[in-house]
Amino acid sequence: MMFSNVEGSASRNFFYTAVIWMAIGMSFGLFAAVLLVVPDLVKNVPVLEYFTFGRVRPVHTNLVLFGWLSGAYFATLFYMVPRLAGTPLWSERLGNFTVLFYNLLMTGYAVTLLMGMNMGREYAESTWVLKILTVVLFALVFLNVLMTFANRKEKELYVTAWYMLGAVFTTPVIYIVGNQFLLPNNPITGVNDAVVNWFYGHNILGYWFTPIGVGAVYYLLPKLTGNPVWSHKLSMIGFWMLMFVYGPTGAHHLVNGPVPYWLQTVAIAFSVCLIIPVWTVLTNFYGTMNGRWGALKESVPLKFTVSAMVFYFITCFQGPMQSLRSVSSIVHFTNWVVGHAHLALVGTFSFIMFATIYYALPRLINREIWSAKLMDWHFWLSLIGFTLFFVSLTIGGLVQGSDWAANQSANFIASVINQRPFNIARAVGGAMILGAQLLFIFNIFKTATAGRQFSADSAEAGSIVAGV
């Protein structure tokens, strides 16, 4: 089965396994959140006592970034690229091999990080051998994508294809450079190490997670509303601006730090420029939704997409704001930044992937989603839980930053105590999010095993309604 050549099987298998990694990754996240409230929770508990915050946190981030989101992105690429290219995936067999390879690799990530094998860099904690294997994984997926495009029958490239191709070309550069060229010993040290780390840490968001997520939205919106995307030209301006301005923004993570002042200024200026691509996406979103807002009442994928656009706006509103020196001096290193990262990765891109799965899976396995009610529960629990989560982190971050600045080093522990209510709210929100995902996985499982047959009476009817 894993090396099946059946059309759509690689995409389906990536979706199935990605949601499992999501549950595992989010469980570690919730565990880490609870540890912040009850630090001695697993003290003297056999085996679990080794699951300290320092080990659990990178397992959470890596499994969620590479296990869940990247796995779902591979599935999305394998689903959307053939449909945009008008030709089947180049090799389903290779695709299914990458599914197996990816699952083994994620297991390696989890085990080594829990053993404390950590390179000490944000989002790049895994050991160099696993990093090389990660590059191999990405290379295998990208080869499949590029060969599918090379064999395409559709001459013109839709905006989703541009975004996906952009990610395919830029991600390897970002990953290889940012991970110290995959060498066992760091060729780049000291402050330069931090600069390179944030070139990678921020750009993996900008050149991998953003383009695939935004590209998926451009694919989904017309499919969910029946309206063609409002302006293709505007979407292209947005795509090229994203490619142009994202690169130098990483150093805004080092504002007010011991890196060259000019580098910080450049990062701030380019961070503010990110407003432009975001503006294009949101304008196109509103334009495309025009006259179709009623569908929001009945379509859970659309609810997820619309919520993701709200969170995308807020993420990209916060981003330039917090890159400013005066704001950074308050919020840097605080829970505000943790909230910001979750706004992008959960509120925006994970929500987009939920919508994508609800849309794509029935078409891949020819079964309707098992329970519409569970879909609704999934949405509302995710939305309410996540809102509680990021609002508590955001307010907590401001309180934390104010405490630090006001007390300096005199009373640090008071600032920790002041965070307690926010940490509790964060854990409750996190539990709601995880609970929502467990319902989601159950629904997916039941869909795969007991879903009604999918009735797609008509792509043509869709075209007629849309006035094509």
Partner 1 sequence: MRWARSPGTAVLAALLGLFLLPGQAAASHLSGGESDLMGIYGGIALVLGFAGLLGVLGLVPARWRWRGYRWGRWLLAAGLLILVAGGFHAAAIGTVERQVGDAAFGRLATQQLLGTLVVFGAFWGGVYFLARRSGVLNMGESVKYAVLRNGDPPEWTAFRAERPGEQRLMWVPFAAMGILAFFFTAGVLFAILRLPPSARL
Question: Judged by CB under 8 A, does residue 409 bind partner 1?
Answer: no
Q: Which is nearer to partner 1, 58 or 320 (CB)?
A: 320
Question: Judged by CB under 8 A, does residue 279 bind partner 1?
Answer: yes
Question: Judged by CB under 8 A, does residue 232 bind partner 1?
Answer: yes
Question: At its nearest, how many Å lie between partner 1 and the CB of residue 144?
Answer: 19
Only segment of 42-50, 108-116, 262-270, 423-431 that touches partner 1 (CB under 8 A): 262-270
Question: Judged by CB under 8 A, does residue 384 bind partner 1?
Answer: no
Question: Judged by CB under 8 A, does residue 296 bind partner 1?
Answer: yes
Question: Judged by CB under 8 A, does residue 456 bind partner 1?
Answer: yes
Among 50, 53, 181, 286, binds partner 1 (CB under 8 A): 286
Cα 188 to Cα 121, 180, 184, 292, 424, distances in angstroms: 13, 7, 12, 52, 39
Residues within window 150-169 making contact with partner 1, judged by CB under 8 A:
154, 156-160
Question: At its nearest, how many Å lie between partner 1 and the CB of residue 327?
Answer: 5
Q: Which is nearer to partner 1, 27 or 322 (CB)?
A: 322
- Which contiguous run of DSSP H or E holds residue 237? helix 232-245
Q: Which is nearer to partner 1, 110 or 388 (CB)?
A: 388
Among 224, 243, 425, 436, binds partner 1 (CB under 8 A): 224
Backbone angles phi, psi at 463, to 5 degrees: -65, -35
Residues within window 75-134 making contact with partner 1, judged by CB under 8 A:
83-84, 86
The tokens for 451 are 């879903």
Give the integer Cα–Cα distance in Å for 233 and 181. 37
Among 147, 176, 177, 314, binds partner 1 (CB under 8 A): 314
Question: Judged by CB under 8 A, does residue 298 bind partner 1?
Answer: yes
Question: Judged by CB under 8 A, does residue 258 bind partner 1?
Answer: no
Only segment of 7-15, 149-157, 414-422, 441-449 that touches partner 1 (CB under 8 A): 149-157
First to last CA, the chain: 39
Give the integer Cα–Cα distance in Å for 27 and 4. 31
Give the integer Cα–Cα distance in Å for 140 and 14. 14
Q: Which is nearer to partner 1, 122 or 368 (CB)?
A: 368
Residues within window 326-355 making contact with partner 1, judged by CB under 8 A:
326-327, 329-331
Please choose, from the candidates 208, 9, 24, the residue with its C-alpha nearest in 3D space to the C-alpha of residue 99. Answer: 9
Question: Judged by CB under 8 A, does residue 321 bind partner 1?
Answer: yes
- What residue type is assigned to position 441 of the chain? I
Question: Judged by CB under 8 A, does residue 40 bind partner 1?
Answer: no
Task: Find the DSSP H helices in 226-331.
Answer: 232-245, 261-273, 275-289, 300-323, 325-331
Backbone angles phi, psi at 249, to 5 degrees: -80, -15
- Which contiguous run of DSSP H or E holds residue 441? helix 420-450
- Give me the residue label for tokens 């298998």: 13
CB neighbour list of residue 391: distance below 8 Å, 6 or more residues apart: 339
Question: Judged by CB under 8 A, does residue 6 bind partner 1?
Answer: no
Among 291, 412, 414, 417, binds partner 1 (CB under 8 A): 291
Among 398, 424, 428, 448, binds partner 1 (CB under 8 A): 398
Half-sphere exposure of 413 (CA within 13 A, CB side): 0
**Which residues sit opposite 453 in a β-bridge?**
367
